[in-house]
Amino acid sequence: MKTLLPSFLRRNSWRWMLPVVLVLSVLGIIVWLPWQLRQLETVERQEQLVADTLWVEQSLQFQLLKNEGSMRLLAGEISSGALPLNNQAALGQRLYELQHRVYEFEQVQWWGADGMRLSTNEQISPWSSDAQRVALEARRTTVARFAPPHPALKSESQMLVEFFLPVYDGTTWLGHLVAIYDLNKLLEVTTPWWFAQENQISLYDQHNTLLAQRAALGSGRGIYTHQREVELPGLNLRLHTNSLRAAPSLAPRFLVGSVIVLALGLIFSLWLLWRHVERRLAAESALRAQMAFRTAMENSLVTGMRARDLDGRVTYVNPAFCQIVGYAEHELIGKLPPMPYWAPEAMQDYQDRFAQVLAGTITPQGFETIFQRADGARVPVLVFESPLLDASGKQTGWMGSILDISERKQIEELNRQQQEKLQTSARLATMGELASILAHELNQPLAAISSYATGALNILQQGHLHDLDLLKEALEKARQQAQRAGQIIRSVHEFVKKREPARHPVGVQSLLDTILPLIELQAQRYFVKVQCRIPGDLPLLHADKTMLEQVLLNLTRNAIEAMREAPPERRILVIQAQLLADALPPQISVAVCDYGHGITPEVAERLFSPFFSTKAEGMGMGLNICRTAIEFHGGALEYLPNPEGGAIFRFSLPLATQTG
Ligand code: ADP
């Protein structure tokens, strides 16, 4: 059972049970209350009917008593002789008056002991046997009595009943005063109109024969009924009331109905809410799982992740990022630029990048820069920035992934150093080879000259002057060897001459355009800014482009290396050119200026000497080759101390037109 229910339902079932139980209770009360009210009303109506029926019964009894009283008055007059029985006219008159005073009397009769019958109505029907029996009974007991009811002759629906009042003069029976009641009229008189409006009132005899009925507004509904026995002398009647009222409605039905509908709606909405919560909880747990997955993923990443809002405030960093920069998460979150991991020398670079990021012009390929760890060490990094979008697609900031490329950089640096060493040894090998060839080639003629000269000296010292031919021969041979040595020198010169520059008209700007990317590459490594100040209208030079490129690359490399330790704001490399129109012939001077450590007078003296270098890995041939190359072009290379600190290397070359 436990496994069949979703876990959250098991957990939270009581939370749902409470509102459901409450709603069901309210619903139960709402259904029970009208039903209860209806019950109460039913009882109340029934009680009302009982009371009213009692009232009618009493009214009936009272009416009959009152009528009996009126009859007894007349009987009194007869028995006292005030109304003589022989005065039939007077008696008839009194009977007539009595009948007209009492609405429910159908007929009033005098039935004398002599058998004479005097009636208010001409039609005198013979007494039924029941009536005769009742009359005898009344006479015998001296108590007035009713005879059993019977239908009227003229109409079956009209039920009549006789009331015999025996009249005595002392103990002598004088006769019966008889009143014939019309039971319908009796009911009419004794039932109040308001009661008749709401009820069907009927009179039955003991055999359940309907005697009279009053139903002003139709038959009763049979919902509220009551009956009472009406006991009269000689006659037992049953008064039956049947209310016209319908059972009380579950009033107000509309109200109850709407409350039930609302309650059902409430239960339905609770169910919907429950389902919604169920889905939400499921989504939440899925989200939690995903979050845990993501957190684990972020924590295990070796790539640093950093999120920033649109103002540049750090909003998130992952452990890998903290490890790269050496700062804890709480030291970074909420920080605005400048960041604690920004190296002072790269500050401008960061500002520029940051401006690019904010402007959204950053390239997706990423960019290289350095970060300064908390311990001051520099870490080369590769940064990729991309916009951070929220669920609605609106940008809320920037997400950066940062790769520590120290190892790659180290490998690159090693490669570069190895390459340089190879080049150096290659160059040394070439020079050494050249030197050994020269030495070898010159060694022979020089040794020969030396021996011929020694021979000649010996001849002179020994005074063998007769041997002039021998002396001549020795000197001749020495001359030949000297010529051979000259030949060797010339052939080397020829070899060098073959490598003479291939001169063409070339512009300083186009020269720079070719090598500037290389210079920039070097400069970037040390966060050096390169400034070129080349006037647009500069005339062309007549030079070997490749050699001049080599010269400029050498000079700029020296300048950048000299600024390695310079403060960030002084890391500026300036390349400027200028026309020296007054010189003869007119020349263009090109200067490479730096703000590095500068050159001491001792170093300055030996600057252009071959193999002079103050660098551990330097060969000391750069400046020497540069000077040679410039001199090949008929120009001059010189060093000037920079008045603002640092060094200036300047060379000037004749213009293209002058050299033709
Ligand atoms: P290398 O660069 O191999 O040392 P160079 O002939 O190019 O050989 O330079 C010789 C020396 O001159 C360098 O070792 C350095 O001491 C010095 N030097 C050259 N250029 C500069 C400069 N711009 N600033 C300071 N010193 C320089």
CA 58 to chain centre: 82
Mutating to test ligand 1, I would choose from 558, 626, 650 the residue with most ligand atoms within 8 A of its C-beta, which is 558
Among the three residues 345, 367, 399, which one is the final residue of a domain in this structure?
Answer: 399
Among the three residues 441, 473, 500, which one is the final residue of a domain in this structure?
Answer: 500
**Atom 8 of ligand 1, residue of closest alpha carbon:** 620
pLDDT value for 3: 47
Mutating to test ligand 1, I would choose from 571, 613, 640, 650 the residue with most ligand atoms within 8 A of its C-beta, which is 613
Q: Which residues of the chain have pLDDT under 70?
A: 1-15, 249-253, 364, 420, 423-437, 440, 464-465, 492-501, 657-660
- 614 within 8 A of 561, measured Cβ to Cβ: no
pLDDT value for 1: 43
In this structure, how many other beta carbons lie within 10 angstroms of the beta carbon of residue 540? 15
Element (DSSP H or E) covering residue 511:
helix 508-525
Whose tokens are 């920080």? That residue is: 335
Are residues 483 and 390 both part of a single domain? no
- Each residue's pLDDT tens digit, 581-595: 888 788 999 999 999
Classify residue 170 by its DSSP letter: T
Mutating to test ligand 1, I would choose from 617, 623, 637 the residue with most ligand atoms within 8 A of its C-beta, which is 623
CA of 557 to the centre of ligand 1 (A): 9
Are residues 232 and 308 both part of a single domain? no
Q: Is residue 21 part of a domain?
A: no
Are residues 480 and 365 both part of a single domain? no
CA of 525 to the centre of ligand 1 (A): 19
CA of 305 to the centre of ligand 1 (A): 42
Atom of ligand 1 nearest to the CA of 614: 14
Are residues 491 and 568 both part of a single domain? no
647 C-beta closer than 6 A to ligand 1? yes
Q: How far apart are the first and last CA of the chain?
A: 106
108 C-beta closer than 6 A to ligand 1? no
Are residues 529 and 485 both part of a single domain? no
209 C-beta closer than 6 A to ligand 1? no
The CATH number of the domain holding residue 474 is 1.10.287
Are residues 238 and 103 both part of a single domain? yes
Preceding omega of 338 cis (within 30 degrees of 0): yes
For residue 52, give the nearest of 204, 193, 236 by alpha carbon.
193
- 647 within 8 A of 598, measured Cβ to Cβ: yes
427 C-beta closer than 6 A to ligand 1? no
Atom of ligand 1 nearest to the CA of 623: 6
CA of 417 to the centre of ligand 1 (A): 17
CA of 622 to the centre of ligand 1 (A): 8
For residue 639, give the nearest of 614, 613, 605, 615 by alpha carbon.
605
CA distance 643 to 571: 16
CA 35 to chain centre: 49
Atom of ligand 1 nearest to the CA of 596: 24
Atom of ligand 1 nearest to the CA of 649: 23
CA distance 172 to 79: 9
**Atom 26 of ligand 1, residue of closest alpha carbon:** 599
> What does residue 326 show for φ and ψ, rounded to 5 degrees?
75, 20
> What does residue 122 show for φ and ψ, rounded to 5 degrees?
-65, -35
Q: Is residue 352 part of a domain?
A: yes
> What does residue 498 show for φ and ψ, rounded to 5 degrees?
-60, -30
> What does residue 240 show for φ and ψ, rounded to 5 degrees?
-120, 125
211 C-beta closer than 6 A to ligand 1? no
pLDDT value for 660: 37
CA of 575 to the centre of ligand 1 (A): 17
The CATH number of the domain holding residue 358 is 3.30.450.20
Are residues 521 and 658 both part of a single domain? yes
Atom of ligand 1 nearest to the CA of 554: 7
The CATH number of the domain holding residue 572 is 3.30.565.10
CA of 412 to the centre of ligand 1 (A): 23
- Angle in degrees, CA 453, 458, 462, rounded to 5: 155
Residue 319 sits in which domain range? Answer: 301-399
26 C-beta closer than 6 A to ligand 1? no
- Each residue's pLDDT tens digit, 1-34: 444 455 545 556 666 777 778 878 887 887 788 7
In this structure, how many other beta carbons lie within 10 angstroms of the beta carbon of residue 308? 25
Instruction: Give the count of domains, the chain.
Output: 4
614 C-beta closer than 6 A to ligand 1? yes
Q: Is residue 477 part of a domain?
A: yes
Q: Is residue 187 part of a domain?
A: yes
Q: How many CA atoms lie within 13 A of 231 on its CB side?
A: 0
Q: Is residue 88 part of a domain?
A: yes
**Atom 21 of ligand 1, residue of closest alpha carbon:** 558
- What six digits make up the tokens of 274? 């429950």
Among the three residues 399, 420, 442, which one is the final residue of a domain in this structure?
Answer: 399
Are residues 176 and 45 both part of a single domain? yes
CA of 614 to the centre of ligand 1 (A): 7
CA of 423 to the centre of ligand 1 (A): 18
Beta-carbon contacts of 304 under 8 Å, excluding residues fewer than 6 positions away, are 317, 318, 320, 321, 322, 323, 324, 325, 381, 400, 401, 402, 403, 404
Mark 314-336 as b/e (b = at least 16 C-beta within 10 Å): bbbbbbbbbebbbbeeebbeebe
**Atom 16 of ligand 1, residue of closest alpha carbon:** 614
Q: Is residue 449 part of a domain?
A: yes
For 179, counting Cβ atoms within 10 Å of its Cβ (0-12 exposed, 13-18 middle, 19+ buried), the class is: buried
CA of 652 to the centre of ligand 1 (A): 20
**Atom 3 of ligand 1, residue of closest alpha carbon:** 618
In this structure, how many other beta carbons lie within 10 angstroms of the beta carbon of residue 265? 11
CA of 616 to the centre of ligand 1 (A): 11
CA distance 266 to 258: 12
9 C-beta closer than 6 A to ligand 1? no
**Atom 18 of ligand 1, residue of closest alpha carbon:** 558
168 C-beta closer than 6 A to ligand 1? no
**Atom 19 of ligand 1, residue of closest alpha carbon:** 558
- 357 within 8 A of 384, measured Cβ to Cβ: no
Q: Is residue 634 part of a domain?
A: yes
Are residues 375 and 434 both part of a single domain? no
Atom of ligand 1 nearest to the CA of 607: 12
607 C-beta closer than 6 A to ligand 1? yes
Output the 3-class SS for 233-249.
CCEEEEEEEEECCCCCC
- 214 within 8 A of 241, measured Cβ to Cβ: no
613 C-beta closer than 6 A to ligand 1? yes
Q: Is residue 350 part of a domain?
A: yes
Are residues 520 and 608 both part of a single domain? yes
Are residues 395 and 414 both part of a single domain? no
CA of 408 to the centre of ligand 1 (A): 28
For 254, counting Cβ atoms within 10 Å of its Cβ (0-12 exposed, 13-18 middle, 19+ buried), the class is: exposed
Are residues 517 and 606 both part of a single domain? yes
Rg (the chain; Cα; Å): 72
Beta-carbon contacts of 323 under 8 Å, excluding residues fewer than 6 positions away, are 304
Q: Name residue 435's amino acid.
A: A
Beta-carbon contacts of 263 under 8 Å, excluding residues fewer than 6 positions away, are 23, 26, 27, 30
615 C-beta closer than 6 A to ligand 1? yes
